[in-house]
Amino acid sequence: MFVDEVEVFVKAGDGGRGCVSFRREKFVPRGGPDGGDGGAGGSVLLEADPNLGTLLDFHFKRHYRARRGEHGRGSDQHGATAPDVLLRVPVGTVVRERDSGQLLGDLTRPGQRLVVVRGGRGGRGNAAFATSTRRAPRIAQPGGAGEERRLRLELKLLADVGLVGFPNAGKSTLISRLSAARPKIAPYPFTTLAPHLGLVRIDERQSFVLADLPGLVPGAHAGKGLGLRFLRHIERTRVLVHLLDLDPATGRDPVEDYRALLGELRAYSPLLAERAQLVAANKVDLPGTPARLRAVERFCARAGLDCYPISALTGEGLSALLGALAALLRREPRARAVG
C-alpha cells in the first residue's frame, strides 16, 4: 500500500513542576529552601530514513505524544528530562502545518532531522528563588506547556529521471527492462496506481534513479485521474522522458499526446515544462508504426527535441536511450522543487 500524503497530530511533553520544600534535619536550624527544578518535556522529531518508501505507518497511527518532564522534589532533587519521540519518515518528505500550510521542513537527506514540536521547560523550584534578603521563598514555577501541532506530511519521490506518458504507454515495461523494479504490467488503463523507483546502472561509475509514475490524463493538474498525486512526484526530477505510444490500435495521435503532456506539466508549474526533456517513441516493433514514427520525428526536429525510437518489450533502441539520459544527467544540476 503506497501512502504519500497523511495528516498527523503531535504533542510535546509539558515541563515538570518546580518543588517548594525546606530542609528539615536535626541539629540544622534554618536549613533553608531545597526544592528542585522540574524536568523539561520531551520533543517530537522527524528523521529521514532511506529504508522507508511510504508514509504507511502514519496511516494507522495519527496521534503522537511525548512524555512530560518529572516534577522537582525536595533535597535539591531535579526532575528528569523526558525522552524525545523520534518518528521516521521516507527521504523526500515535506512537512507542513496543516491549518496554515506553513512549510516546516523538507527532509531530503538520509538522517536529516526536524524538530516539529518542542517540549515545555521545567519549572524552577523554590531553591532557585532564594536570595540574601529572601531566605525562605515559598514559590515555585509550574512547568511550561509543550507545543502541539497538526501536520501534513507529503512524500515527493527523489528520482533523477521521471517517465511521463498516457496510461498504457509502456512505462512499467520500460522500467522493468532498465532496472530490477517489477511493477504490475497489464493491458488496461491505470495499471500503475503508485509510483515505482528503479536503479538504472549505466556503467561501473554512473547510475541513476528512474521513476515510473502513474499515467497522465487531460486535466491532471486540476486533480483529474490520479492528478496531483502524480504531478507531485516529478517535482524533484532532473530529466523528463515523454513516452509516446506509437500503437495505431489506440486511436490516439502521439504528437497530440506530447502536446497534452506538456500542457499538463505547464499548467501545474511552468518550472516543470522547463526541465530537460526528451522523447521516447515506444512500440516500434508493432506493425503500422513507421508512418507514425516519422510524424513524431518531424515534430521533434521542429521543436528541437531529441527523439529515440524504442521497443520496451523487445529492448530495441534502449542502449541509445540510456546513453542520451547519461549525457543529460551529467549536464543537468539537481532540480529545485516547484512546491
| 3-class DSSP state of 301 | helix
Q: Assess whether 188 and 304 both reside in one domain.
A: yes
Tell me if 310 sits within 8 A of 323, measured CB to CB: no
Q: Assess whether 170 and 317 both reside in one domain.
A: yes
Which stretch of 9-13, 195-199, 224-228, 250-254 has the lowest confidence by average pLDDT? 224-228
The answer as to whether 337 is a domain residue is no
Which stretch of 198-207, 258-267, 329-338 has the lowest confidence by average pLDDT? 329-338
Mean confidence (pLDDT) of the chain: 84
Residue 313 sits in a domain whose CATH number is: 3.40.50.300
pTM exceeds cut of 0.85: no
CA distance 191 to 185: 7
Provide the 8-state DSSP code for 114.
Answer: E
The pLDDT of residue 165: 83
Question: How many structural domains does the chain have?
Answer: 2
As a whole number, mean pLDDT of residues 106-121 equals: 94
Q: Assess whether 101 and 178 both reside in one domain.
A: no
Domain boundary among 132, 155, 178: 155
CA distance 26 to 122: 31
The pLDDT of residue 230: 64
Across 151-155, 194-198, 236-240, 250-254, the highest mean pLDDT is recorded for 151-155
pLDDT digits (tens, 9 = 90+) for 289-320: 999 999 999 999 999 999 999 998 888 999 99
Domain boundary among 130, 155, 180: 155
The pLDDT of residue 222: 44
Q: Assess whether 105 and 202 both reside in one domain.
A: no
Q: Assess whether 144 and 219 both reside in one domain.
A: no
Residues above pLDDT 90, as percent of the chain:
44
The answer as to whether 338 is a domain residue is no
Q: Assess whether 30 and 149 both reside in one domain.
A: yes
CA distance 264 to 258: 10
Q: Assess whether 187 and 240 both reside in one domain.
A: yes
As a whole number, mean pLDDT of residues 108-123 equals: 94
pLDDT digits (tens, 9 = 90+) for 145-194: 999 999 999 888 777 888 888 877 888 888 888 876 554 554 544 445 56
Which stretch of 49-53, 258-262, 266-270, 275-279 has the lowest confidence by average pLDDT? 266-270
Q: Assess whether 91 and 180 both reside in one domain.
A: no
Categorize the per-residue pLDDT at 216 as very low, low, confident or very high, splitting at 50, 70 and 90. low
Q: Assess whether 311 and 291 both reside in one domain.
A: yes
The pLDDT of residue 125: 95
Which stretch of 86-100, 263-277, 309-323 has the lowest confidence by average pLDDT? 263-277
Provide the 8-state DSSP code for 285.
Answer: T
Q: Assess whether 12 and 145 both reside in one domain.
A: yes
Left if phi > 0, otherwise alpha if psi is -120 to 50, otherwise beta: which for 246? Answer: alpha
Domain boundary among 125, 155, 185: 155
As a whole number, mean pLDDT of residues 135-140 equals: 91
CA distance 212 to 198: 8
The DSSP line for 200-240 is EE-SSS-EEEEEE-PPP-TTGGGT-TTHHHHHGGGTT-SEE
The answer as to whether 250 is a domain residue is yes
Is residue 227 over pLDDT 70?
Answer: no
Residue 160 backbone dihedrals phi, psi, to 5 degrees: -80, -40
Question: Three cell numbers at 237?
Answer: 526530477
Beta strand 103-107 with 196-201: parallel, antiparallel or unpaired?
Answer: unpaired
Other Cβ atoms within 10 Å of 134 Cβ, number: 12
CA distance 57 to 21: 45
The answer as to whether 301 is a domain residue is yes
Tell me if 200 sits within 8 A of 322, measured CB to CB: yes
- What is the domain extent for residue 63? 5-155
Burial class (CB in 10 A: 0-12, 13-18, 19+), 243: buried
Q: Assess whether 216 and 136 both reside in one domain.
A: no
Output the CA–CA distances (angstroms, integers) from residue 306 to 178, 296, 325, in the order listed. Answer: 20, 11, 11
Residue 16 sits in a domain whose CATH number is: 2.70.210.12
The pLDDT of residue 334: 57
pLDDT digits (tens, 9 = 90+) for 39-82: 999 999 999 998 887 888 898 899 999 999 999 999 999 999 99
Give the length of the chain: 339
The DSSP line for 41-92 is PPPEEEEEETT--S-HHHHH--EEEPPPPPPPBTTTBPPPPPPPEEEEEETT
